[in-house]
Structure 1
Amino acid sequence: MSKNKYLFPFILVTSLFFLWGFAYGLLDVLNKHFQVTLNITKTRSTLLQAAYFGAYFLIGLIGTFVNKFDYKKGIIFGLLMFSLGAFLFYPAANASSFNYFLIALFILAAGCACLETTANPYVTVLGNPATSANRLNLSQCFNGVGSFFGPIIASQIFFSNGNSDNLDSVKNVYLIIAVVVLLISFLFMRTELPEIKEDVVEQLSEAEDKKPLSSHKHFITGVIAQFFYVAAQVGVAAFFINYCTESGVKIDNAFASKLLSIALVLFAGGRFIGTALMRKIAANKLLTIYSIVNVILCFFVIFHLAWISVYALIIIFLFESIMFPTIFALGLKGIGTHTKKGASFMIMSIVGGALVPYFMGVLSDKYSTATSYIIPLVCFVIVAWYGWRGYRVKGNNESVQVDFAKH
C-alpha cells in the first residue's frame, strides 16, 4: 500500500475517535433529560452509566474477539453494534421506556468498546512507524472534539423550547447517528486496510517471568486505583448538570450543558499540559499532586458555595486529565509477558464507572447532589495514595514517564 493510500483509511479510522467521544459526550446530558422526561430519580438515572460502562467491562472480558479475527472485522463489528444501539433509541423513545433505553445504550456502548480496542492499533500502522505516536495523538484530539460537541449539541436540541419535556429530539438525534455510523461501516467494508502485526512484548528475566501476575502488588493496587478513578470521573460528570442547576445561581439545563462542554475542553487540554509537566515532574508525583488538588476542589463542591463551587467542579476535569493513562502506565510497569493480560484487567477496571455512581445517586436523592460528591472525594484520596506509595515496584521505586499517545 503506497504512502498516499494511507490517507483515506487514516481519515476513516480517525472518525471513529470522534464517534465514541461524541457518544460519551451525550451520555451525561441524557441523565438530566431522562430525569425530566421520564420522571425518574437521580439514582435510577445512573443506570445509564451502569449500562454504558458495564458494556465496556463485558467487551474487555471477552476481548479475545480481536485475537481470533483481524482488526478490520473488529471495527466493522463495533460499528454495526454502535449503529444498532443507536437505531434502538427510536422505539425506546416511542415507548417512553427507560428500560428500553438502557438496552439500546448497552448495545451502543458495546460497539464503542469494540472500536476503542481496535482503532488505536490501526492508527499506528497507517503510515511511517516513526510517526505512529503523532498520528495516534492527532486521532485522540478528535475524541476530545467529539466529547466537547456532544453536550453542546445536546444543550441546543434536548433542552430547547418544546423539547425539554419530550423524547422526540432524542430519537431524532440517535436516528441520525445510527445512519451516519452505518454509512461509515460500509466505507470500512469497501476500504483496503493494512494488516496489524502484534507488538513484541519486552521479556523479563526467566526467574521473574515465572512470577504470577497476582504477585505484582503495584499492578493489583493499580487496578484498584483505576477502578476508583473511573468511578470518580464518571460520577463527577454524571451529576454535573444536576449540581449546576441546584447550585443556587441562575443556571438552567442548557447552560449547564455548555459548562460541561467547557469542562471537557479542560480535560482534553489537560493531557497536553500534563505531558509537558512530566518532562520535569515524575509521573507518580504529578498524579499525587493532581489527586490532592481534586480532593480540595471536592470540598468546595460539597460546601455548596454558589459560583465558587461551580468553578471548582469545572476545574476538577482539568486535574482528572492525566489520571487514567498515568495509573495505566504505572500499573503495567515491570510485569513483562503479563503486560497484555494486565492491560485487559486495567480496561475491565472501568466497571467502577458502572457501579459507584449509583451510590452517588442514592446520596443525592436522600440528601443533596452536593453531598454525593463525598464519594469522588474518597476516590481521589485512593488515587493520591497510589501515586504516593502504591505504584512502587518491588525493588524498584523509579517513576515511569507516560506517553499519552499510547493510553
Structure 2
Amino acid sequence: MAGASISTDSSVEHSSANESKNYRFALTSLTSLFFMWGFITCLNDILIPYLKGAFDLSYTQAMLIQFCFFGAYFIVSIPAGNLVAKIGYQRGIVTGLSVAAVGCLLFYPAALVKLYPLFLLALFVLAAGITILQVSANPYVSVLGPSKTASSRLTMTQAFNSLGTTIAPFFGAYLIFSGADHSAVGDGAAVKFPYLLLAASLLILALIFSKLTLPDLGKSTNNNVSYQSAIKHRHLKFGAVAIFVYVGAEVAIGSFLVNFLSEPHIAGLSEAEASKYIAYYWGGAMLGRFVGAVVMQYISAGKVLCFNALMAIMLLLCTVMLDGPIAMWSILAVGLFNSIMFPTIFSLAIRGLGDAASRGAGVLCLAIVGGAILPLIQGVLADTLGVQLAFLLPTVCYFYIAFYGIKGSVPVAIELQGKEL
C-alpha cells in the first residue's frame, strides 16, 4: 500500500510539473500578442498628427481616428465574447489575428485613393481584430495559474504590450514621417509600407498560433451563462466604468502628446522629433508594469491601483498649470503610473466570475469604447480651450480609478464577510 501511495504521489507531482510547464509555454507565447496589439495601438498616436496634416484636419476631426479604432470595441466586444465562449480562446486568438491583418491590408487602397474615410474604415476593421484578441488573451492569462496572482501575471504580460508601445513611436516616426517636420496636405502614401509589414507579421502569428499546442482552457463549461448574470456582480460593473475612463484617459493623453510637445511654450519640437518622445510615455508604462508585477506579489492590487491614480492626478495638474520642461516631463511621466492600471482593473473586475469570465471579459472590452469617446471630447476641448487645458479631462478620470482601487473593486461577498468578522 505504501508503494502504491508513493507511486500515486509521484504521478501527481509529474502531472503538476507538466501542467506548470504547459502554462509557462502558453504565457510565453501570449506575450507576442500583447506586444503586437500594443505596437499597433500606439501607431495611432503617430497616425493622428500625420493624417491631421495630410488632410488639413481640426483636432476634433483628427480624433475620429481614435473614435473609429476604439469604437470597434463597443460594437465587436459582445459578439467577440460569444464567439470565444463557443470556439475557445486559442481559436479566438487566430481569428483575431486574421481580422487584424485584413484591417492592415486595407490601408494600402486607402492610401492609393487618398480618402480619409477609408483610413477610418481600415482602422475599424483592424480594431475589430484587436478586440477579439483582447477578449481571448486577457482572460486566458488570468486562468493560466492561481487566481490570487492573476493581477501580477496579467501585469507581466501587459509589460510586453508596453514594449510594443515603446518601440512603435520610433518605427512610426521613421517610416511615416520619414524625418519630415510636417506631412504634405492631401498625401497619405507614407502609411502603405508600415501597415503592409504589420499585416504580414499578423498573418505569420495567426499561422503559428493555429499550430501551437496550448492548455485547453478555452471554452466555457456553461454556455448558458448570460451577460445579465455576469453584470450582476457589482465589482464587474464598477470595473467596466473604470476601464472606460482609464482607456479614455490613456488614449487621450497619448493622442495629444505630439501636438502638445510641439507647442512653443512647452518644448517647440517638430512633429518628427515629438513623435520619438512618445516612447518615454509608453516606456514608463513598460517599466512600471515589470515593477508592478513584483510589487503586487506583496501589496494588494487595489491599493497599488489607488496610489498610481493619485500620482497621475498630481502629474496632470503640473502639466496643466506649468510650462516648459516641467509640463513636458510631467505629462510623459504619467505613463509610469498608467502602467498597472488596465491589467489590474481587468483582473479585479473578473475575479470570482467563474464560468461568466468570458462574458465578463466581453463587458470590459465593451468599456474600452472610452478610448473612442473621451479623446473626441478632449479634441473639442482642445479646439475651444487649447491643448494644455484639455488635459483636465483625463485628470477627472483618474479620480474615479482611485475610488475603484480602494473601494469599487471589492466584491459584495467579500464586503459581507468582512462585516461578519
Q: Under a length normalisation based on structure 1, what TM-score does the superposition of the two structures give? A: 0.83
Give the letter for the 1:143 counterpart.
N
In 2, Cα distance between equivalents of 1:365 and 1:301:
18
Give the letter for the 1:181 counterpart.
L
- 1:342: how far off? 2.9
- 1:26: how far off? 0.6
Structure 1 residues 195 and 92, CA gap change in structure 2 (3 angstroms): same
Tell me the number of residue pairs that the alignment of Structure 1 and Structure 2 aligns: 389
2:68 aligned with 1:51: yes
In 2, Cα distance between equivalents of 1:393 and 1:8:
32
CA contact (8 A) 2:84 2:218 kept: no
2:82 aligned with 1:64: yes
- Which secondary structure does the structure 2 equivalent of 1:158 belong to? helix
Aligned to 1:234: 251
Structure 1 residues not aligned, in runs of 5+: 202-210, 400-407
Structure 1 residues 114 and 397, CA gap change in structure 2 (3 angstroms): same
Structure 1 residues 59 and 125, CA gap change in structure 2 (3 angstroms): same
What do residues 3-24 of structure 1 show as CA deviations (whole Å, max 9, x unaligned)? 9999998876543332212101
What do residues 129-186 of structure 1 show as CA deviations (whole Å, max 9, x unaligned)? xx99999777544322221111111112222245842522211111222233234434
245-254 or 280-289: bigger deviation: 280-289
Aligned to 2:11: none
1:223 to 232, 240, 249: 240
- 1:356: how far off? 1.2
Structure 1 residues 275 and 199, CA gap change in structure 2 (3 angstroms): farther
Aligned to 2:96: 78
2:106 aligned with 1:88: yes
Aligned to 1:402: none
- 1:307: how far off? 0.9
In 1, Cα distance between equivalents of 2:342 and 2:69:
18
Aligned to 1:178: 199
1:259 to 261, 277, 296: 277
- 1:349: how far off? 1.2
Counterparts of 1:222-371 in structure 2, within 5 Å, are 222-246=239-263, 248=265, 249-333=267-351, 338-371=356-389
CA contact (8 A) 1:301 1:312 kept: yes
Identity, % of aligned pairs? 34
Aligned to 1:204: none
What do residues 84-104 of structure 1 show as CA deviations (whole Å, max 9, x unaligned)? 111111111122211100100
Give the letter for the 1:175 counterpart.
L
- 1:44: how far off? 1.1
Q: Under a length normalisation based on structure 2, what TM-score does the superposition of the two structures give? A: 0.80
- 1:379: how far off? 0.7
CA contact (8 A) 2:154 2:344 kept: no
Structure 2 residues not aligned, in runs of 5+: 1-17, 223-227
What do residues 351-395 of structure 1 show as CA deviations (whole Å, max 9, x unaligned)? 111111101000101121111111101111121222343334446
Give the letter for the 2:58 counterpart.
T
Structure 1 residues 350 and 137, CA gap change in structure 2 (3 angstroms): closer
40-49 or 167-176: bigger deviation: 167-176
Structure 1 residues 383 and 178, CA gap change in structure 2 (3 angstroms): same
- 1:39: how far off? 0.8
Give the letter for the 2:124 counterpart.
F
2:56 aligned with 1:39: yes
Give the letter for the 1:173 counterpart.
P
2:404 aligned with 1:383: no
309-318 or 134-143: bigger deviation: 134-143
Counterparts of 1:150-189 in structure 2, within 5 Å, are 150-161=168-179, 164-166=182-184, 167-189=188-210
In 1, Cα distance between equivalents of 2:320 and 2:234:
33
In 2, Cα distance between equivalents of 1:222 and 1:80:
29
218-227 or 34-43: bigger deviation: 218-227
- 1:227: how far off? 1.4
Aligned to 1:143: 161
In 2, Cα distance between equivalents of 1:245 and 1:101:
25
- Which secondary structure does the structure 1 equivalent of 2:269 belong to? coil
Structure 1 residues 273 and 60, CA gap change in structure 2 (3 angstroms): same
Structure 1 residues 394 and 146, CA gap change in structure 2 (3 angstroms): closer
Q: Report the RMSD for the aligned CA atoms in angstroms.
A: 3.6
- 1:188: how far off? 4.4
Structure 1 residues 200 and 105, CA gap change in structure 2 (3 angstroms): same
Structure 1 residues 133 and 389, CA gap change in structure 2 (3 angstroms): closer
Give the letter for the 1:155 counterpart.
A
What do residues 195-252 of structure 1 show as CA deviations (whole Å, max 9, x unaligned)? 4455889xxxxxxxxx955554343222222211111111111111111111522322
CA contact (8 A) 1:229 1:383 kept: yes
285-294 or 300-309: bigger deviation: 285-294
